Chain A
Amino acid sequence: MKAVMWITTLLVFLFVGSILYTIVRNGWNAMSWDMISSLPGGGFYIGKEGGLLNAIVGSLYIVGASTVLGLVVSIPVVFYLNVYLKKNSKRGAFARLAYDVLFGIPSIVYGAFAFTIMIYLGLKTSLGGGIIVITLLIIPIFIRSMDEIARELPQDILNASYSLGATRYETIKVVVRQIAPGIATATLLSVGRAIGDAAAVLFTAGYTDNIPVSLGQPAATLPLAVFFQLSSPIPAVQERAYAAALILTFIVLILSILGRIITNRFSRNKI
């Protein structure tokens, strides 16, 4: 039995290795400075020169904006659940169940829902639309992962603060110090998930060769750059899909490594 367990564990490694190897190998061949630093030129999609700057910048815009918006919503929620509500409160349990469901809803459903809202509001596929949908998508991820950290908060710390006469609002300032590294890590990992999500932005953000300058313009994203260029019959264009995939993987890995470093390093004041 132990042998079987070893084999299955090694299998997991095999998958990780195979995926990373494939992506890096294929992506590296197509990689060049142009890919990162320039916009698609004329005839880019028939194999002429140009780069993926539009997709990189578009992805960063969308994810950056929705991270900010998402944090604005989810941090208060996490503190409400963990400081304002009582332990084991029914309301809290209900809310957490709702977030679990939201977390489980496929991104394509978010995309479809956000698109109907956009039509309702008269918006076209645009940077703004992409930001809306990714924000919706990212909020439950944020809340769930931060809540997991915040729930491990020792009750003693809250009690210590209350017994000095602090209000719950003032106690939050103490709680923040305790869980800040955890929150930062959770944020980075969630951002990693959001940046790679293609289904949600498929019909909300659109695709363009330019860098958007206003919320109303469409924006390209990296996952879609991979998706669209891979479906091209021209090998040179497919190569670029691999390059885009490599860039995407690289960003995600960097985020996750950063997350780990933060957890390990910045727990200075943690009890």
Chain B
Amino acid sequence: MNSEQAGQIIRFTSKFRLMKDKMAGSVMLTFTMVSVLLVVLIGIGLLIKSMPILHEKSLWELLCTSKWKPMRGDFGFLPFVMGTLWVTAIAVLWTLPVALFTAIFLTENSKAWVKKVVFPALDILAGLPSVVYGVWGILVIVPWISDTLAPHFVEYSTGYSTLAAGIVLGIMVLPLLISLFVELFSSVPREYREASLSLGATRWQTTKYVLLKKTFPGIIASVTLAISRAMGETIAVLMVCGNIVQLPSSLFDGCYPLPALIANNYGEMLSLPLYESALMLAALILFCVVFVFNIMSRLILRKLEQKLV
């Protein structure tokens, strides 16, 4: 055994190790590429499937008419688009202040035990399946609206309404929004706050002028993210929204959001190719909205994070 032979052995072992390293790397890269490509695949798949109806009518026409008679070839998406917008708007509007205040409370003034109790509660809220929210909506919110709330405003409501969907949806995005806000607020360095407090500002002033101002783009981005999440929520909304094809004229009317449209009709009407294509278009619209909103808000959030740190 001389050093010459030993050298060969060394080269062999380390070659082997490096080869393993490289091979593992390329396997991992493949997995990564494939999973990233999934986004593109979904987009293209939905686009191909919705081509037939887009050949038939223009997108603008589809989105702005409200007649929905698939059997006769009328596909007006307006009621569904409006339904989605209404429900999402209600959900985000009432959730925003609640989430904002709770997040400020959790990051700025609360004691350790409050956090210890609130965060697990939020985890539970975030983890509950959407059907459970739906069941809860049917058992609690719907009767509450039809028995208590609606009689003050309208003559009659079943309770299965835009408002009910908005409330249930709001609770579903609440944990997301709060956790986004908490993350945002805690990324603001302590020095900013101390600087403000040392100038004699009160806590609330500090929060208002330093925290909220510094993170304003982030708040917008978080809300955008929550909106995109809310728009896609299907089952819980479907269970309480009433599923009536109409332009909702009051909060107590039923509505029919896009995801509910897909969920209720897909798989049944495949004999009508144009109908299937219309439903795929609905999925494509959702996909595009979510895609754009997500990318926008993530980029804003990331930029803000880099700026603050």
Q: A18-B140, A98-B36, A245-B131 are in contact. Are A109 and B27 (CB under 8 A)?
A: no
**Residues from chain B with Cβ under 8 Å of A192 in the complex:** 127
The CA of A26 and the CA of B174, in the complex, are separated in Å by: 24
| Residues in B whose Cβ lies below 8 Å from that of A199 | 130, 234-235, 259, 263
Q: Report B-chain residues with C-beta under 8 Å of the C-beta of A119.
A: 270
Nearest A residue to B290 via CB reads A104
Q: Given that A22-B140, A73-B31, A101-B290 are contacting pairs, would A197 and B129 also be in contact in the complex, using a CB cutoff of 8 Å?
A: yes
Q: Confirm or deny: A212 has a beta carbon within 8 angstroms of a beta carbon on chain B.
A: no
B31 touches A9 (CB 8 A): no
In the bound complex, residues from chain B placing their C-beta under 8 Å from that of A77 are 28, 31-32, 35
Say if the beta carbon of B291 comes within 8 Å of chain A.
Answer: yes
Contacts of B42 in A (CB 8 A): 105, 109-110, 113
CB of B46 within 8 Å of the partner chain: yes
Stretch at the interface among A32-40, A42-50, A152-160, A164-172: A164-172
Taking a contact as CB atoms under 8 Å apart, the answer to whether A245 and B127 are in contact is no
- Note all chain A residues with C-beta closer than 8 A to B139: 22, 26
Cα of A94 to Cα of B213 in the assembled complex, Å: 29
- Find residues 1-43 in chain A having any chain B CB closer than 8 Å to their own CB: 1-2, 4-9, 11-13, 15-16, 18-20, 22-23, 26
Quick one: CB contact mask for A141-182 with B, threshold 8 Å, 1 for yes? 001000000000000000000000001111010000000000
CB distance B24 to A230 under 8 Å? no
Please tell me if A262 contacts chain B, counting CB pairs below 8 Å: no
Q: Is the CB of A19 within 8 A of B295?
A: no
Partner of B259, one of A6, A20, A99, A106: A106
Count of chain B residues with a beta carbon within 8 Å of a chain A beta carbon: 83
Interface residue range, chain A: 35 or more
Q: Are B132 and A248 within 8 A (Cβ)? A: yes
**Stretch binding the partner chain, chosen from B69-77, B118-126, B245-253:** B118-126
Chain A residue nearest to B280 in the complex (CB): A112
Cβ–Cβ contact A106 & B128, under 8 A: no
Which of B32, B130, B286 lies in contact with A197, CB distance below 8 A?
Answer: B130
A76-B28, A76-B31, A100-B298 as given contacts; A112 in contact with B266, CB under 8 Å = yes
Is A230 a contact of B290 with CB atoms below 8 Å? no
Q: Taking each of A2, A4, A22, A199, which has the highest tally of chain B beta carbons within 10 Å of its own beta carbon? A: A199
Bound: A198/B236 CA distance, A = 10
List, in ascending order, chain B residues with CB within 8 A of A143's CB: 35
Which residues of the other chain, B, contact A5 by a CB distance below 8 angstroms?
101-102, 104-105, 109
Contact with A along B30-47 (1 / 0, CB 8 A): 011011101100100110
Task: Report chain B residues within 8 Å CB of A100.
Answer: 294-295, 298
* Residue in chain A with minimal CB distance to B37: A98
Chosen A-B contacts, 28 in total, with CB atoms closer than 8 Å, are A2-B109, A5-B105, A7-B101, A8-B105, A13-B118, A19-B128, A19-B133, A73-B31, A80-B32, A100-B294, A104-B229, A105-B232, A105-B287, A106-B286, A108-B232, A108-B259, A109-B290, A112-B46, A136-B38, A139-B38, A168-B25, A193-B129, A202-B235, A226-B131, A226-B135, A227-B131, A227-B134, A230-B138
Q: What would 20 more interface pairs be, CB under 8 Å, given A16-B125, A226-B135, A245-B132?
A: A8-B102, A12-B121, A15-B125, A19-B133, A80-B31, A93-B302, A101-B290, A104-B291, A112-B279, A115-B266, A116-B46, A116-B280, A167-B20, A168-B21, A168-B25, A169-B20, A226-B134, A230-B239, A249-B128, A255-B127
